[in-house]
Amino acid sequence: MITVTTVKEMQQITENLKQQGKKIGFVPTMGFLHEGHMSLVNKSVEQSDVTVMSIFVNPLQFGPGEDFDRYPRDIDRDKKLAEESGVDILFNPVVKELYPAEPSVTVKAVTRSDVLCGASRPGHFDGVVTVLSILFNIVSPDKSFFGQKDAQQAAIVDGLVKSLHFSTEIITVETVREEDGLAKSSRNVYLNDKERKEAPAIYQALKNSSNIYIKSGKERAVEMFKKHISSLNGELDYIEILTYPELQEPKDSDHRLIAAAAVRFERARLIDNIIFTTEEV
């Protein structure tokens, strides 16, 4: 594995790979890697000739008072994990490399961004689609891999690629979970022992809610989710059931849906979701 820190070198490598006819798989991350990231790498290695991973904590997607400065970072550990998992090129630029000056142009997420996490984080997904536009232009991937845990992000990236006609194909990979069902996340390290024991209830409540939706509708499903997690120390940020990937209020004719939730604990905000279909029953 080689580590690249400059845009110029990464673009030169990309150009050479394209001239050789190599298919590039891309895994964009903010680092502090875990098994969820490794599952994306595994898919890329299976489907690509060369796997590029980026590690870049993007300041544009953190709002005022959010955790940019304390976002977990361990680049030495990340390099080791990336190499062991099969990453060929690690792109690890500093902020000034991607944003040498105040951006004169940014990208805005117009739809799919004002619900779920986006409802309480205005501008967050604008930062996501801006940095991904930059990275797609630098890396020129044939396929780009995203985790289903960040389902709203995956839906917005799908819209970004279709709207701006990027040539990369978006591959969404199933959420990787702990044995008790908790979704793998870089922020899980901030849970205390009691919170860690309680956190898997989010996933269980989502599964129950999706089943209740099919039988009894949205209002009852949301009510039962709230009841299921009411005993947790965490504070419910949202529970929502929407169409997927459009992220709109479902109608009777809509069959592919997402049940998504966010819960705030003392030092960590956890998100999770289940995508389900009403046509299976």
Binding residues: 30-37, 61, 147-150, 153, 176, 184-187
Contact of 127 with 61, CB cutoff 8 Å: yes
Tokens 């009510």 found at: 223
| C-alpha to C-alpha distance for 5 and 223, rounded to whole angstroms | 49
Q: Cβ of 197: how many Cβ atoms within 10 Å? A: 12
256-264 and 235-243 beta bridge pairing: antiparallel
- What are the backbone dihedrals phi and psi of residue 238, each rounded to the nearest 5 degrees, phi first? -160, 155
Q: Apex CA 153: angle with CA 100 and CA 68, to 5°? A: 45
Which amino acid, one-letter code, is at 195?
Answer: E
Annotated binding site for ATP: 30-37, 147-150, 176, 184-187
Distances (CA, A) of 207 to 201, 203, 204, 246, 249: 10, 6, 5, 21, 19
Residues with a known catalytic role: 37
Residues at the annotated binding site for beta-alanine? 61
222: left (phi over 0), alpha (psi -120 to 50) or beta: alpha
Binding residues for (R)-pantoate: 61, 153
